[in-house]
Amino acid sequence: MPLKTVFFISDGTGITAASMGHSLLTQFPDIQLSKQFRPFIDTLEKARTVVNEINALSQRTREKPILFTTIVDSTIREEIGRSQAVVLDLFHGFIQQLSKHWHTEANPYIGRAHGLEDNPTYNVRIDALNYTLSTDDGLGYQLYPEADVILIGVSRSGKTPTCLYLAMHFGIYAANYAYTDDDGQYFELLPELKAQRSKLFGLVISPEHLHEIRTKRKPNTEYASLARCQQELKMMRDLLTREKIPFIDATVRSVEEISTTIVTQMGLIRRDV
């Protein structure tokens, strides 16, 4: 089957269009796609340029491309709507439904979703990100009292990406502390962690997967050996069980899934809303 072209067109960053489009397209895993991103289409002139591009493609391939659009301005929206394409307008129908239900007119404003204005949650997300960087990997113990959650786990079990995601998306202050067996360290809770016991959450992972990740980073070292990974993970699981700390297996879960599970299980307050 030839490549199907999909455009993501927005008068803002196009992040919502890309996210929604991606989710919808994953339901069609057999379709081979060419994805074209056209963000910041915020003037009629830019809209006309895109429409010309789409029409030329449509005529050349004799197939209408798909457009995922999130356009607030009605003039630009109508211009894009005149393309020789299948337009999936991700905003308009839902905005009309909300407007009708709430008996309120929408107040069109381009780029509000991912911009700075009217976005009081933005600063807290950046602040949370800086917090995570300041406390990453065992730094900044003195900042633990300010944490919403402190992830613990062996080195390379996914703590840092998860903390960064929690911070950037949910505005959650996430620290992490890594266990290793480098110096025969006994796997126990430091006083600084014991003092924050209710905030602790563990990550585990399969020894085979950890071995693979560590091997990429430091091939042929004792640190990356399967035996060492097995040993550390056993000690980690013993610690989590002994101390009754909730944990999740990161082996077959994405950072998005792990983060969402932590927020739900720990009852954390999202600051991005």
Residues 102-131 within binding reach of a copy of itself (CB under 8 A): 102, 104, 106-109, 111-116, 118-119, 122, 126, 129
Q: Which of 43, 140, 261, 266 binds a copy of itself (CB under 8 A)?
A: 261
Candidate segments 33-41, 74-82, 199-207, 240-248, binder of a copy of itself by CB under 8 A: 33-41
CB of 198 to a copy of itself, least distance (A): 21
CB of 70 to a copy of itself, least distance (A): 7
Query: Smaller CB distance to a copy of itself: residue 168 or 226?
Result: 168
- Could you say whether residue 94 binds a copy of itself (CB under 8 A)? yes
- Could you say whether residue 266 binds a copy of itself (CB under 8 A)? no
Residues 188-227 within binding reach of a copy of itself (CB under 8 A): none
Q: Which of 44, 98, 195, 227 binds a copy of itself (CB under 8 A)?
A: 98
DSSP for the chain reads -PPEEEEEEESS--HHHHHHHHHHHTT-TTS-EEEEEE----SHHHHHHHHHHHHHHHHHHTSPPEEEEE---HHHHHHHHTSSSEEEESSHHHHHHHHHHHT------TT-TTSSTT-THHHHHHHHHHHHHHTGGG--GGGGGG-SEEEEEETTSSHHHHHHHHHHHH---EEEEEE--TT-------HHHHTTGGGEEEEE--HHHHHHHHHHHSTT-TTT-HHHHHHHHHHHHHHHHHTT--EEE-TT--HHHHHHHHHHHHTPPPS--
Residues 3-22 within binding reach of a copy of itself (CB under 8 A): 4, 12-16, 18-20, 22
Please give the Cα distance from 183 to 16 (Å, whole number). Answer: 47
Q: Which of 146, 208, 238, 257 binds a copy of itself (CB under 8 A)?
A: 257
Residues 160-189 within binding reach of a copy of itself (CB under 8 A): 160-161, 164-165, 168-169
Query: Residue 81: phi, psi to the nearest 5?
Result: -65, -15
Q: Which of 46, 48, 64, 237 binds a copy of itself (CB under 8 A)?
A: 64
CB of 50 to a copy of itself, least distance (A): 13
- Could you say whether residue 97 binds a copy of itself (CB under 8 A)? yes
- Using CB under 8 A as the binding criterion, the count of chain residues that bind a copy of itself stands at 74
Q: Which of 7, 91, 131, 144 binds a copy of itself (CB under 8 A)?
A: 91
Candidate segments 37-45, 49-57, 180-188, 224-232, binder of a copy of itself by CB under 8 A: 37-45
Contacts 24+ apart (CB under 8 A), 27-33: 30/1, 31/1, 31/4, 32/1, 32/2, 32/3, 32/4, 33/3, 33/4, 33/5, 33/6
Q: Which of 2, 29, 184, 267 binds a copy of itself (CB under 8 A)?
A: 29
